[in-house]
Amino acid sequence: MRGRISGWIRRLAVVMLIGVWSFSLLAQGPPTQTKQVMRRKLEASEQLLAALVTSNWVALDRQGRALKAQTADPGWDQLRLPEYQKHTATFVQSVDAVIETAGRRDQRAALMAYNGLVASCVECHVYVSRARIVKTQ
């Protein structure tokens, strides 16, 4: 029994340390690599919009795949922390939806998918800004 409690306390301590470390990263703001990834992500999303508006399905597919590939960039590492997992998953699902609509050449569906993609970005940024506000109080 005592060994079981000791193991549980040890696991709880590790989880708490990870949480404190994660929030300290949030309070510091994103590292330079993450800022660069976010800048490229914004540029790629602008190119997605241009492809969508002009019904350039090849470019929509290509830019969507390039945007999704950015999640493998080392600058995305901070976004792999547990508190970002939901946001990253939503982002990837949204990009996949854009790519899928490009294949169908469905402009209205592509617009809805693109709007979902933008919403996923905004929701993550809202989360990050709130986490920083809470940390500084």
| pLDDT score for 63 | 94
Query: What CATH number did the domain enclosing 73 receive?
Result: 1.20.120.290
Q: Cα–Cα–Cα angle for 99, 111, 77, nearest 5°? A: 50
Total tally of structural domains belonging to the chain: 1
- Please name which of 33, 110, 124 lies closest in space to residue 64, comparing C-alpha atoms: 110
For residue 83, what are the domain limits? 2-136
pTM: 0.70
| pLDDT score for 64 | 95
Per-residue pLDDT of the chain (137 residues; tens, 9 = 90+): 555 555 555 554 444 444 444 444 444 555 677 788 888 888 988 999 999 999 999 999 999 999 999 888 877 766 667 777 888 899 999 999 999 999 999 999 999 999 999 999 898 888 877 765 545 54
| pLDDT score for 7 | 53
